[in-house]
Amino acid sequence: MLAKEVIRKKRDGGEMTRAEIDFLIRGITDGSMTEGQVAAMAMAVFFRGLSRHERVGLTLAMRDSGAVMDWPDADRPIVDKHSTGGIGDNVTLVLAPALAACGVGVPTIAGRGLGHTGGTLDKLEAIPGFDPFPAPERFRTLISKHGCAMIGQTDQIAPADRRLYAIRDITATVETLDLITASILSKKLAEGLDALVLDVKCGSGAFMQAQEDAIRLAEALVEVATGAGCPAVAHITDMNQPLASAVGNAVEIRNAIDVLRGDHADPRLLTVTRRLGGELLQMTGLAPTLAEGEAMIAESLNSGRAAESFAQVVAAQGGPADLVDRPATHLQRAEVTLPVLAETHGRIIACDVRAIGLAVIDLGGGRHVTADRIDHSVGFTGLAEIGAEIAPPTPIGVVHARNVEEAERGAAALRAAYTFGTGDPRKGALIGPRIDAESIRTESCVQ
């Protein structure tokens, strides 16, 4: 087989066979396909698209380019959730231990921040001593002992995606549903899951800003995951404002701990956490209905079992044993904290969430290029919500910065991100459409 002939077939609108897809993915992984050929393949897919069979085949081939976990001795269902990326989205930090406390296994593989959005791996690295790269056997032990472990993506997971994504990134071929779907799912399905819930963000801070685009992505993800043998459900959730009241790394860990302990109710974060967890508990048969699944998640939070589970996971992965009891002792604090007072007063009707994400990067809490080092202490807390009436001296948030100059720059960015006015609030339903296999009438096409 010749790579250029397979590329030609796709370029001319043909459908690649599974053997041809496997051949290309092998070539991407072992380097026998040149960068030019990989770019040409990505561009051919960009213009011609993939059939459902091709999408499933590509996802499975990319998944199988590296290590794929299996859990033959597991005494509980293995599940995970994936978020397409948001701001102030610390759902994983609350949901994974809550699920573990409900009796499922959650082998979370977390990523770094992408563009303006935060990454769970960066947040976990804000915990002193936390080891996000345990050896594979240790990872297994953590799941069987604690029901949950949170690790970073390594070179062993879907290496074909790593190379393909790097080439897509420099050849204007990131924005294709076919390749996005295969990229996301190849990594998630490598976890050997019994069920997957997808949180597809929609709004000014999301990858997908229009609801119809978010629905198309959700449908593609559910269809391909299901076709690849992993039951999946997606929810479209609102990203027209940060999900939680804190955005950054250490401040989001603190926020998650406060929510787990019940010291702070972040209502939108909790609603999304309960819904995604409830779905997974229903999908695995541990809850008879979605409502009962949600109630189980709420109970694990209210009883303190989820907080206990988080504390155990953190300690087992090298973090402080008393992090949950004494977060302030361990989490890095920024040199300067400054309440941000609005220059206008009245009702907040809109929020430029992307601008808040970029402001965190500017404070030093995210990356401009992959090699950038992150300052885990910086970010925002106490962020005001759309619909809030702001009157002096109520701040719209607090900026955490390395110095006064950066704090003032962050404060100006935060002020500019909020719109005050009298019109309708610009936000969607917190939890929008639900997409499952039935709703898109898919059938299994594992090859």
- Active-site residues, by number, are 80-83, 120, 168, 183, 187-188
Any residues with CB less than 8 A from the CB of 256 and at least 6 apart, and which? Answer: 90, 93, 94, 310
The distance of closest approach from Cβ of residue 112 to ligand URA in the complex, given in angstroms and rounded to an integer, is 11
Q: For ligand URA, which residue has the nearest CB?
A: 183
Q: Give whichever of 184 and 239 is closer to ligand URA, judged by the CB atom.
A: 184
Q: Quick check: 59 and 53 in contact, CB under 8 A? A: no
Q: Give whichever of 157 and 180 is closer to ligand URA, judged by the CB atom.
A: 180
Q: Give whichever of 217 and 307 is closer to ligand URA, judged by the CB atom.
A: 217
Return the H-helix or E-strand segment holding 397.
strand 395-401
What does the alpha-carbon distance between residue 222 and residue 227 come to, in Å, rounded to a whole number? 8
Q: Give whichever of 208 and 358 is closer to ligand URA, judged by the CB atom.
A: 208
Q: Residue 44 carries which side chain, given as an amino acid letter? A: A
What does the alpha-carbon distance between residue 263 and residue 38 come to, in Å, rounded to a whole number? 50
What does the alpha-carbon distance between residue 346 and residue 351 come to, in Å, rounded to a whole number? 14
The distance of closest approach from Cβ of residue 131 to ligand URA in the complex, given in angstroms and rounded to an integer, is 23
Q: Quick check: 275 and 243 in contact, CB under 8 A? A: no
Nearest to 38 by CA among 49, 28, 51: 28
The distance of closest approach from Cβ of residue 110 to ligand URA in the complex, given in angstroms and rounded to an integer, is 12
The distance of closest approach from Cβ of residue 84 to ligand URA in the complex, given in angstroms and rounded to an integer, is 7
DSSP string spanning 290-330?
Answer: HHHHHHHHHHHHHTSHHHHHHHHHHHHTTS-TTTTT-HHHH
The distance of closest approach from Cβ of residue 220 to ligand URA in the complex, given in angstroms and rounded to an integer, is 12
What does the alpha-carbon distance between residue 48 and residue 189 come to, in Å, rounded to a whole number? 25
Interface positions with ligand URA (CB under 6 A): 165, 174, 179-180, 183-184
Q: Give whichever of 161 and 266 is closer to ligand URA, judged by the CB atom.
A: 161
What does the alpha-carbon distance between residue 309 and residue 275 come to, in Å, rounded to a whole number? 19
